[in-house]
Amino acid sequence: MLCQDETNREIANGGLFARDGVIEAVATTDELPQTADRVIDLSGHVLMPGLVNTHHHLYQNLTRLLPEAQDAPLFGWLQALYPVWERLSPEAFHVSAQLGLAELLLSGCTTSSDHQYIFPNGSRLDDTIAAAGETGIRFMATRGSMSVGESSGGLPPDALVEREDDILADSERLIRRYHDPAAASRLQVALAPCSPFSVSQELMRESAVLARKHGVRLHTHLAENTEDVAYSLERFGRSPGEYAEDLGWVGEDVWHAHCVQLDERDIRRFAATGTAVAHCPCSNLRLASGVAPVMAMLRAGVPVGLGVDGSSSNDGGHLLAEARQALLLQRLREGAAGCSVREMLRVATLGGARALGRADHLGALQVGYQADCAAFAVDDLWHAGAVHDPVASLLLCHSTNASYTVVGGDVLVDNGELAVLDLPGLLQRHRDMAVRLGR
């Protein structure tokens, strides 16, 4: 059992006891209370804190690997997909969110954020929020936005951008309606103008003011690739980090996705201000954006979490596999001893909780923390022979699904099966929708 508490304990034959969704005891099995409403035998498993996903676009599950967007870098990829996304409906957002969150739960994820920045055909963030509520996962819904279309020098088509007054009004409505700041909260709202090349500086500033007025977090894409950095230098005369700082977008309440091309000065800027990064290695490779300097960020003191990113640029939402990818990539960058399994598992759990502002009650298995955990079998074919370090086998061996994923004491993946949603029915609806959408 991997605790990730203050002393970084690993307990052989360990387990936990939870009541009302909160951990009351962490100890060896013999020392734990022997009766409970539900007792789960985890012999042959590694029990660890639930994984935390800090960046996603759930609707993109419906447009996975479309041929026209399979082999393009970021800007070309977006331009190929925008016209397809224009056809999304409220139902599409609902169904794709359920599908994407099911995938995450099965990979051991207990908390996920989502970044929805398009609202075609009457869609609202409420559609995605309702879907998340039906899964039981802990959810950080971000109200994304785009306001600078092609005709004003932005990347997205004019049909997909919104008026800034409407964006701010809807942002405030969503915060008031849904944001729950409690330790046990399963639903929080953050504000997330999409990217430097799709929103105005004014909207960035006003979103930050609005978020801080309500005590909610800020999220956006930053320094994703060299084209993104060149746009920032050319249009704003500033590096991405300078641009963020000038607009009030640094601080302990901000997390930026990607930051693949963040330079040393900007890394120091983020470290000094406690600004966090959502690292999305598979997407960064798929779009050939580069390898983010994650270990340099961690050494400098930047909080880093992992994100699977949208399923049109990954195209898999398996968070444990994402952690494996992140580990292997940092070894390529830093040398074989440059990143350990345990360091990366910490990024995937506690690091993500910190990026989402929840590290005081999520990301570790310790008394008083929420009972969010995942258990992976390590006595199966995929881990055969890896008997000397079961924890390391989670990332160094093939990534498998969780046997159990528990959120606030609720068993959402039970003995390898999703205990929520009608998965076969959901798959059929999602498939029909994806076929229609791709035409």
Strands 304-306 and 373-377 come out as: unpaired
CA 424, CA 342: separation in Å to the nearest integer?
A: 35
Provide the 3-class DSSP secondary structure of residue 116.
strand
Of 308, 287, 304, 279, which is closest to residue 106 (Cα–Cα)? 308
Provide the 3-class DSSP secondary structure of residue 18.
strand
Query: Torsion angle of alpha carbons 226, 228, 231, 232, nearest 10°?
Result: -100
Segment 309-348, which members bind Zn ion (CB under 5 A)?
309
For the CB of residue 148, give the shortest distance to Zn ion in the complex, in Å: 17
For the CB of residue 30, give the shortest distance to Zn ion in the complex, in Å: 46
Of 5, 41, 14, 49, which is closest to residue 319 (Cα–Cα)? 49
| Closer residue to Zn ion in complex, CB, 322/372 | 322
Provide the 3-class DSSP secondary structure of residue 336.
coil
| Closer residue to Zn ion in complex, CB, 253/309 | 309
Segment 395-424, which members bind Zn ion (CB under 5 A)?
none
| Closer residue to Zn ion in complex, CB, 188/195 | 195
For the CB of residue 69, give the shortest distance to Zn ion in the complex, in Å: 14
The number of CA neighbours under 13 Å toward the Cβ of 125 is 29
| Closer residue to Zn ion in complex, CB, 111/116 | 116
What contacts 367, CB < 8 A, 6 or more positions away? 23, 24, 25, 26
For the CB of residue 198, give the shortest distance to Zn ion in the complex, in Å: 12
For the CB of residue 60, give the shortest distance to Zn ion in the complex, in Å: 9
Q: Which residues face 48 on adjacent strands?
A: 374
Number of residues that bind Zn ion (CB under 5 A): 1
For the CB of residue 261, give the shortest distance to Zn ion in the complex, in Å: 15
Segment 285-314, which members bind Zn ion (CB under 5 A)?
309
For the CB of residue 280, give the shortest distance to Zn ion in the complex, in Å: 7
Q: Residue 330 corresponds to which tokens in the numbers above?
A: 């940092």
| Closer residue to Zn ion in complex, CB, 16/304 | 304
| Closer residue to Zn ion in complex, CB, 308/364 | 308
For the CB of residue 245, give the shortest distance to Zn ion in the complex, in Å: 21
CA 239, CA 283: separation in Å to the nearest integer?
A: 22
Of 407, 415, 403, 317, which is closest to residue 46 (Cα–Cα)? 403
Residue 155 burial class via C-beta count within 10 angstroms: exposed 0-12, middle 13-18, buried 19 and up: buried
| Closer residue to Zn ion in complex, CB, 309/372 | 309
| Closer residue to Zn ion in complex, CB, 314/403 | 314
Residue 144 burial class via C-beta count within 10 angstroms: exposed 0-12, middle 13-18, buried 19 and up: buried
For the CB of residue 237, give the shortest distance to Zn ion in the complex, in Å: 25
| Closer residue to Zn ion in complex, CB, 278/298 | 278
> Which residue ranges make up the site for Zn ion (CB under 5 A)?
309
